[in-house]
Amino acid sequence: MSGRAAILLATGLLLLSVACRRETAVPAVAVDPVAELASFRARKDAYFRTSPQSPFQAEPKVPFAPLKYFAPDPGWIYQSKLRLDPNPRVVAIRDTQGEQREATIIGTVGFTREGRSHTLTVYRMAGLAPGTYHYSLWFTDLTTGKEAYEVGRYLDFLKDEDPDHVYPLDFNHAYNPYCAYSPSYACPIPRKEDHLDLAVTAGEKKWRE
């Protein structure tokens, strides 16, 4: 469990994507992505510090300390289409408490950095309610276990039914799962196939040494 959806709900980020329909055109407002990211990170700290759903509030409670991040870098923002696998396959995913879960590989998204192509696997996993699913992206890279959390980091992925949909891959929003803060949580561990052979110097860092 990453808890990312709870953060988005608690901070009101979903309100940004649910706009009322208007008949008159409204001029676009320029958004400073660095300022927006700083604001999001501040709200996330506030949520983790005070919310009853925060991983720091799970028993045994862990004293809160602000999260740590790489500096914002627009150069780590990419866009990609989803390349669907014609033969989706089920794989076993081990979690941080030694259990196994089933996930279906539905395809990949990709990006190019410094002339080299990289891919991330898109996993479909069973949701909490019967018959529901959620989609996951996770990875390790050359910062894993050094500047970044030793298990790996996650990126949000909301699947769109449009085959031509373009997905944002913003590594500034790469985050640690809840098990990075509390032993009460079991989080999926990225497989060896999920390793990126580059240093992703963006997103969340290791919370503590």
- Rounded CA separation 99/113 (Å): 35
Cα atoms in the 13 Å half-sphere on the side-chain side of 66: 5
Task: Render 103-117 in DSSP notation, one character per residue.
Answer: EEEEEEEEEEETTEE
- Rounded CA separation 42/11 (Å): 10
Please check whether residue 120 is in contact with residue 98, taking contact to mean a CB–CB distance below 8 angstroms. no
pLDDT digits (tens, 9 = 90+) for 63-111: 999 999 999 999 999 999 999 999 999 999 999 999 999 999 999 999 9
Helices (H), the chain: 4-11, 33-50
- Rounded CA separation 157/120 (Å): 11
pLDDT of residue 24: 39
Kindly report whether the peptide bond that precedes residue 60 is cis, defined as omega within 30 degrees of 0. Answer: yes
pLDDT digits (tens, 9 = 90+) for 117-141: 999 999 999 888 888 899 999 999 9
pLDDT of residue 30: 58
Instruction: Specify the higher pLDDT residue, 5 or 184.
Output: 184
Question: Is residue 23's pLDDT more than 50?
Answer: no
User: Can you name the residues that pair with 81 across neighbouring β-strands?
Assistant: 166
Instruction: Specify the higher pLDDT residue, 20 or 2.
Output: 2
Q: Which two tokens stand for residue 38?
A: 């700083």
User: Can you name the residues that pair with 102 across neighbouring β-strands?
Assistant: 92
Q: What is the DSSP letter of 87?
A: E
Q: Calculate helix-pair angle for 4-11, 33-50, nearest 10 degrees.
A: 100
Q: Tell me which residue of 87, 150, 84, 96 sits closest to 122, measured CA to CA.
A: 84
Q: Which two tokens stand for residue 23?
A: 């008949």
Q: What angle do CA 129, 85, 134 make, to 5 degrees?
A: 20
The pLDDT mean for the chain works out to 87
pLDDT of residue 33: 81
Q: Other C-beta atoms within 10 Å of 93: how many?
A: 19
pLDDT of residue 29: 52
Model pTM score? 0.83
Confidence of residue 157 (pLDDT cuts 50, 70, 90): very high
